[in-house]
Amino acid sequence: MRIAIYGKGGIGKSTISANITAAMSARGLKVLQIGCDPKHDSTRLLLDGREPPTVMDYIRNTRKEDMSLFDVVAQGYGRSMCVEAGGPEPGVGCAGRGILSTFDLLDELGMERLEADVTIYDVLGDVVCGGFAVPLRNDYAEKVFIVTSGEFMAIYAANNILRGVRNYDPLRIGGIIFNSRGEEEERDRVHAFATAVGLPIVAEIPRSPLFLEGERRGKTVVETFPATELTDCFHRLAAMMLEGDVSEAEPLSDEDLERIVLGKEKAGKAEVMVNATKVANGRPRSAPVYTSRNVDRHEVLHGCAFTGAVVTCLSVQGLQTVMHSPDSCAHLSCQMAQNAARRAYLREGISIPSFLEPSSHCTSMDDPAMVFGAKGLLEEAIRKAASVSGRIAVVSSCPSGIIGDDVVETVRRMSAEFPDAKIVPMIEDGNAAGDHMQGVIDACVALADHLIDQDLAPVKGMVNVVGIKPIATNNERNMSFLASILGRMGMSVNCRFIGGTDVTSIEGFKKAKVSILANTDRFTRMLASFLIDEHGVKVMERPLTAGIVGTEAWVRELAALGGVEVERLLAELGTEYRTGLIPLRKELEGRSACIISMHKDIDWLIDLIDDLGIELRRAVVVDRSDHLMDYHVGNRHSQRIELLEDYVIDYVVNESLRLSPDILLSTYPVTDREGVVQERIPMVPDIGHLAPLEMARHWALALKAPRVEGWREEDD
């Protein structure tokens, strides 16, 4: 028989549980009592006032290979067996997680070898969280008893416990144990509650000085005063618990509970503080929020914010990244960064040192850390990071948020220990903060707020580039092109924000009088809004983009802001474009194409098709939930573009192929139909007037290739 005894903290539950165990032991039963409470005092009265070693301390101090079941089981009164789960220090860690770890360890060590006739779980019931609810599961307790007094909060806790039981098998409530405080009218309140929820009161434990005397001796009443009515009460209760029936209770609503127990009618809602501020990522909650599309629209999340923030921080040279996470989370994040570096090297022949050798530290949160809290691990990791560099980002993960580690407070203390350092907290807590892109945005916001030197004066000819994606593989090629154009205008890049930058550049962000957007997606627009709103940054209207029209537009705007003459430069760019277009037009003129894009900004692509003399039979933009371009871009070719928010991709593809285009241009592969020539529209297009021509060269080669691969026709 397995019995769980629940009740509000301080209600006398442990004293009652120990006396029940003593009564059952006196009947010759072999009883195992497991205290599921961080106070670890459930079995003290069975052990002459001694406290056994707790399972949590055992886990923390003992190697796995040295563990033994009998190290955590103490022999108590009447052959009873006593186990205390224990827990972390108050205010840190997760006590509920400790209960889970206790049961896992007992199972691993072979608890069934104890051959107990009865197992009693003495469980804290103030909050039935996942850990404290373990004994409610069907494979543990067969019966559940609830201890309560006549105080309203004790009854309120009892009602909550009933709600927790209903989430499992509701037909397991043995009844209510009324532990009287000796107050007036409390008996009426308990009986009214029991009647309302449909449960029997299986015992009424009177208030008695014998309990205090037993406590002084470190023993149960059953052992100390065997020939008393109070001990007989526990013997009757023990028999009933073993032999009685179970009931299915109906918990009350909060309003009904107050009406039945207190005789109180429904009260109005309390006023709340709408302007209360809570700091996260170094910014108050009341501050403007800069979100990814998935977060803004409550869509399915793609990746986690922890990984997005980590990858962003790893891309910044001179920044030490502390990952407050398990090793697995850190490994996945670093792998994403290193995979981006490998792609860049294989595709572009470009090395990204910050990704290949990431400056990172991990707190390696394991099960004990999640139980006892990981403040010490975080402090140690920050100290290691500070020994390398005085610029540190601390990114929290899901486990940190679940157990309630106060990362911001830890960063505050460590900042006092290292006054010359800048330590940036990023409270991501994994998916709790949003998707991968939300983490990227959060990291950019936090680093800008903490690192940008607000006192710097602008330097003539300096330009910032905002919205560079950390893992895009064409960053270096795009920045090389930009540098060449700026050089011809007598200008240079001050800060690349944020992919491929360094701490010094971010700190010197204000040296540039103007910032230009790296592309036209939501990520870039969010960063621009943040920098304008919070840092007073001047951002150009025209972004960097592919194609001759877009390139001419941003060059003219930048020249006007800088007072630079660029007519000769523009003429040269136009000549270069038209010259490159001539041989490609000879090969592609008269061909036909259809577009299926995830980008709304495809003016440059339609310009290219028109300039090549290709017939555009259809241009479709599909609104994908995992894409970020969800804003109005003001297409010049809007009349030729279909925007589909509700669609079935197979239907869209089939309708396009029905038009028999020579080439299908799409952001991702949309069909495996043999004979269809598909070419990719890049997620992050190359910028510049000549970039589209390079794409067109691939089209020409693809159209020359056989439509059907010859090896498919060969005999085996």
Catalytic amino acids? Answer: 8, 13, 39, 126
Residues 6+ apart with CB under 8 A from 652: 596, 620, 622, 644, 670
Torsion of CA 386, 388, 394, 397, to 10 degrees: -120
Instruction: Kindly report the number of other CB atoms within 10 A of residue 373's CB atom.
Output: 22
C-alpha to C-alpha distances, 467 to 333, 500, 523, 557, 570, nearest whole angstrom: 20, 11, 7, 18, 25
Instruction: Kindly report the number of other CB atoms within 10 A of residue 148's CB atom.
Output: 30
C-alpha to C-alpha distances, 696 to 552, 607, 646, 681, nearest whole angstrom: 20, 12, 31, 11
CA 186-188-191 angle, to 5 degrees, is: 110
CA 59-65-67 angle, to 5 degrees, is: 45
The DSSP-derived string for 283-332 is EETTS-----HHHHHTPPP-S-HHHHHHHHHHTSBT-EEEEES-HHHHHH
Closest by alpha carbon to 444, among 513, 526, 516? 526
How far apart CA 210 and CA 285 sit, in angstroms, is 54
- Identify whether the C-beta of residue 221 lies closer than 8 Å to the C-beta of residue 231: yes
> Cα 7 to the chain's mean position, in Å?
32
- Identify whether the C-beta of residue 693 lies closer than 8 Å to the C-beta of residue 604: no
Which stretch of DSSP H or E encloses residue 666? strand 663-666
Closest by alpha carbon to 123, among 226, 33, 250, 229? 33
* Exposure letters 399-408 (e unless 16+ CB within 10 A, then b): bbbbbebbbb
C-alpha to C-alpha distances, 353 to 255, 281, 314, 337, 384, nearest whole angstrom: 62, 27, 10, 11, 21
- Identify whether the C-beta of residue 607 lies closer than 8 Å to the C-beta of residue 696: no
C-alpha to C-alpha distances, 657 to 99, 593, 649, nearest whole angstrom: 60, 10, 12
